[in-house]
Amino acid sequence: MTNPSVDTVEIALDKAETRYVISDVQSLAEALLARWPERLRGRAHLRARKKCHAALEGKCKPIEARTAFIAACREAGISVFPDDAQRP
């Protein structure tokens, strides 16, 4: 498996708002599997996990995994930087 890079995103998953900087597909997958709060795991979370797995296997583009990850963040109410900072 390869570990493709993605445009960097920062997310805050805990109450202390510690920001996690993510710049590759493996780190996206780790955030979804190991750091994501159980109560925030919805349909977009599952789609993002599948996209990350596919990207790691070379079956989809890394940008698709990143896009699915951001969708999971939005579904869960998690801010994504710099993406959300640029939204109107």
User: In this predicted model, what pLDDT tens digit does every residue of 26-45 receive, in sequence order?
Assistant: 999 999 999 898 999 999 99
Residue 16 one-letter amino acid: A
pLDDT of residue 66 exceeding 80: yes
pLDDT of residue 85: 54
Residue 88 inside a domain? The answer is: no
Q: Give the structural domain span for 53.
A: 5-83
Q: Give CA–CA dist 16/30, Å, rounded.
A: 19
- The pLDDT of residue 83 is 63
**Beta bridge pairs of residue 83:** none
Q: Tally the domains of the chain.
A: 1
pLDDT tens digits for 69-84? 999 999 999 988 876 5
CA separation for the pair 30, 4 (Å, rounded): 14
Token output for 22: 């993510």
59 contacts 46 by C-beta, under 8 angstroms: no
pTM: 0.89
Beta bridge partners of 80: 11
- Considering the chain, what is the average pLDDT of its residues? 90
